Structures are given as C-alpha cells and as structure tokens.
Chains A and B, each alone.
Chain A
Amino acid sequence: MISFASFPTQTQNYGITKHHPDVQDDVNMDIVFDEEDLSSKRLTCPGEVLTSSQTFMRGHGTYVVDEEVISSVAGTIEKVNKLISVRAVRTRYNPEVGDLIVGRIAEVQPKRWKVDANSRQDAVLMLSSVNLPGGVQRRKLESDELQMRTFFEEGDLLVAEVQAFFADGAMSIHTRSLKYGKLRNGQLVVVPPVLIRRLKSHFVTLPCGVDLILGLNGYIWVSKHVKDNEQEGEEGFDAEAVYSNRNDAIDDATRSAIARVSNIIRTLATYFVPLTDAVLLEAYEWCVEQEGGVADVLQQDVGEALVAALNAPR
C-alpha cells in the first residue's frame, strides 16, 4: 500500500487504527475480540444499548430512549444495585462536597473571586469564605471588599475545599482553614483529574524536602517543604505571611527535587498511571537510583522503564 505522509505520524500513546475499509475480515475479527473483552472489563461507547430501563435506573453517562438505557460516553460501566452509570475514562473534574482542590484565580468580582478549577464552570470563592486578617472569626467589612486584590489577585494559585453547590451546578469553595490559602514556593503540574485517587490525606510530604498537594481536580502543587511548626499558626494567624506574594529562598537541591518530582508526575500522567503518595515515593526513589539528570525521566525510554519498574511484582 502506498501511503503519503506530510506530517510525522504520532505513535506515542494510543496507537493508530488503520484498516482498509474493504477488509471486513480484519475488522470483524477485532470486534469479536472486543466483545469478549467488553464483557470482562465492562467497557462501552456512545450509542451502545446497555440494558432495559424497566429493570435498571439510569445514572450518569446514560440516557433512556424507548425503555432502553443507552450509554452516552466512552468508559467503564458501573452498577450499584439497580443504578447503572458509565464513567468516562477521561473527562473534566466533577466536584463533590469536601474535595480538596487547587485552583487559579480567574476573575475578581464584587464580594467574590472566580476560580478556574478544571471543572465545567469556574468555582466561586466568596469573600466570606476566606480567612480575613486580624483574627479568624470576624465579620467582613466594607474595607475588606475594597482591598480584595490584596488577598487574591488574578493568576494567584490557591488550595481550597469544595463547600457547596449553586443551583446551576457551580461550586462554592472555601479557604477557612490554616491548611488552605495562597500557594507559593513551588510549581503547578496539571494531570487528568481521574488519575488523582481519593487519599487519606492529599497533603503529601516526600522525604526529599518536597511538599505535594494533590488537588482532586487534577491540579498538583509541588513545593518546598514547610516545617509543621511554621505552618501551624497561632490563634491570630499571620495574614502577611498567608497572603504574601513573595517566595522564600529555595536552595538548589530543593529546586532540583521540585523539578524532578514535577517531571515524574508528568511522565506518569502520560502513561496514565494513577498517582498516590506511595507511587510517587517509589518513582522518586527509582529515579534517584538511576543517577540520571532531572529531565531524564521525560525521555521515552526512561519513562517506559519507570512505568515497568512500578508495575513489576515484588
């Protein structure tokens, strides 16, 4: 077969299906194989009939026509008792109350900030949902409204918790804890949200002097380690420090550790490996053992070796 290619063919991640449409044998063979695999792994794609709506209730990722439940996304089928839903394999972040997220201020509006959180709409951070300077418990004043930009400005990164939802599904978030607030001393890495599993704690400290905040929305903050006694403020928390825009001094060793961890996260994300504290720790140790440069893990062969090492049974 002659093929013309004016662009380099990308064969990096998902491969390419290539069939001649007339070669039905090949295609049919694939489909038989698919069905076998579908039943074991319960995968589906849009327009596929799942079951009858008389025996099952329709959940997310499905719709009902003529008493048939039909999938509307490509992903895995999940059944809970009589509820059938399809979870898309890769999609935007779906917020739930109590989730820890990392976001970026998109807009400052009267009494509220709009925060980009990788969701279908910007999150809302009300002025009343942040810690104001001078005592944790205090009414907000008009003067606070006028100086909202001294707390958070457009482009600032913050860590927050999902508090509630508005009628249209937009989420309201809050930073009313000393653990939450503005982020400094580090670097943001974005991965697909589905790769962040719910953990006991999303604040991870790696022994290499790096703190990680694994936002459930797929935003990960990699930063210099802050000692616990410095982090925990007293009663009157230090507004200067919390809303500061200035980075601390970061030594070279920490800088390269931050860069290395960020690169590991990017590599694992391209191979679609779910990220947990244990995985990251192991991956970091593996990379240090290899004695390569900080950026080595971004190379394809090193990345593949890393994933293979992580998957190897012990």
Chain B
Amino acid sequence: MSSRVEILNDGGYRSDGRKQYELRDITIDLTPRGSADGSATITHGLTEVLVEVFGPREAKVRSQTMHDRALINVEVSLLPFSASERRKRSRGDKRVLELAAAIKSTFEPVVQTSIYPRSEIDIFVHVLQQDGGLLQAGINATTLALITAGIPMIDFVCAVTGGVYSTSPLLDLTTLEENDTPNVTVAIMPRTKKVTLVSMETRLHVDRFGDVFKLACEAGAVLHQEMKVAVESRTRKLVGAMETGPSIAIPGAERGDRDVYMEDNMNDDF
C-alpha cells in the first residue's frame, strides 16, 4: 500500500523523524471525569486513549458474579472519527472485542481481585485518535486509571510495540509502520520484569524476535518512569490539598500553595 514510503531512511531516521529506538511524545492526564472512580488519558504521539474505571461495585449481572473475587469487565469503543477514514464500528466488531479481551487478560493477574468478592470492576476504553499502538496505549491508560481509582494492583503494567524493518528493530510504531513491518506488543511489570502480555498479529522471523522483545522490555521500563512521575504528582497534589484547610494546622498550607503554583507553571509550558 505505502511501500514507496521509506520506513527507515539511509540516515537512520523514520518517516516521522524519529530514530530507531525513539519513543513518541507521551502525555498523561489524570483529571477525574464525571462519576468515574478513576480515569486517565494517555497520548503516544497521535494515538490518544481515554479510560474510565468504575468500581469495585455491585455486580449487575448475577450469573457472572464470582463468590471469591471481582469480575473485570472491559469495553472498548473506537470512536468513528478516530482514524483517518471515518468508520463506525459496531459493538460486536471482532477487532474491538479482541482488543477488549487482550486488555482483560492482561489485567486479570495484576489486579488483586480476591479482595473484592462478588463485585465488578468496569473498564471503559475510548480510543479518541489512532495512529498505531492501540493495544499499548489502551493498556497503559488502563493501568493509570486503575491506580487513580485506588484499586489494588501488584504493579504497574507498561506496554510498548516493537517492529522490525529488514533487520533493524524499531520501537513505538505508527500506523504507517505497523502496516508495513512485522510487529509485536509487549507488556511488562517493571518491578519483577515479568511479561504479562505478548501479542503478535503478523509473522516475525524467530531470529529477530529476541532483539525486539528485549528492546520492548527496556522501553517498558522507560514508560514506567513517566507513569510513575504522573501518579506521584497527582498523589502529592491530592494529599497536599487534604492537608490544607482551616481545621488543620497551618504549616501544611504553605506547602499546598507551592504545589499549586508548580502545577500552573507546568501548564503554561504548552
């Protein structure tokens, strides 16, 4: 289709000007939305995903309720305007269901569901813009949303897509690169370096797989840093706000003010 576009040119640059192992810009927004218990928006370059988490709450479907742990429900919606071609996908679309199933199976071993018997955790994934790495963005945003909802998890889950162009591995692929190269999505838990998901829809030579896999694991650790900074700054801000207030000692108030000031500075940057 787009074989005339060079995936990696002689200078070692990709079509969007990145180097081989360079990740795209990451933006993380943990602003609470509506009545959701936790929500997060993450962007990887032009891919933008919003996740809302509800729960743990009373399971609405009796037949699926489990007496020893919580049920995790994942629903994915690809908004019709998210891709370059306007297209409305039905709820039963195979690709959408597969994405939801992948996210669900990634998080089932990570979320400590046994703490919440007979409950339900609903995860709604909205894809606002897509430019490759859908699964990666969905998993990263879900991790953040679950953390903001205060749901206990063993660790973060950080996902990155890797691909191979002729013999050189690439990281964090765009749609254009995804279409032309064999690629694999890897999700890791950074503390133990355990892998919770490897998903490959294309064929990849076994000799190349090791390289890409290792690179993706390393990139996952880099993403973890980013996500941790975002979560920590949110926690600090909320705890700071709670420590202020007229009924509590004043020394905390000063610190809270400084926090707010810092955030303003950050927002002015762009």
Contact = CB atoms under 8 A, between A and B. Distances in A.
A76 interface: yes
A70 B156 CA distance: 12
A215 B225 CA distance: 38
A43 B222 contact: no
17 contacts: A16-B27, A16-B267, A17-B226, A17-B233, A18-B27, A18-B266, A19-B226, A21-B222, A46-B156, A72-B112, A73-B147, A74-B232, A89-B150, A89-B234, A91-B149, A120-B55, A122-B58
Interface of B: 22-32, 35, 37-38, 41, 46, 48, 55-58, 67, 70, 112, 116-119, 128-129, 147-156, 189-191, 222-223, 225-226, 228-239, 241-242, 244-248, 250, 253, 256-257, 263, 266-267, 269-270
Contacts of B30: 14
A273 interface: yes
A241 interface: no
Interface string A270-292: 01111010110010000000000
Given A21-B23, A63-B112, A168-B118, A6 B129 contact: yes
B25 A1 contact: yes
A27 interface: yes
Given A10-B31, A121-B119, A194-B242, A279 B247 contact: yes
Nearest to B41: A10
Contact of B245 (A6, A70, A190, A273): A273
B225 A46 contact: no
B226 A89 contact: no
Contact of A168 (B55, B117, B155, B225): B117
B27 A76 contact: no
A137 interface: no
B57 A17 contact: no
B246 A10 contact: no
Nearest to A273: B245
B231 A34 contact: no
A90 interface: yes
Interface string A259-277: 0000000000001111010
B78 to A, nearest CB: 15
A75 B150 contact: yes
Contacts of A22: 22-23
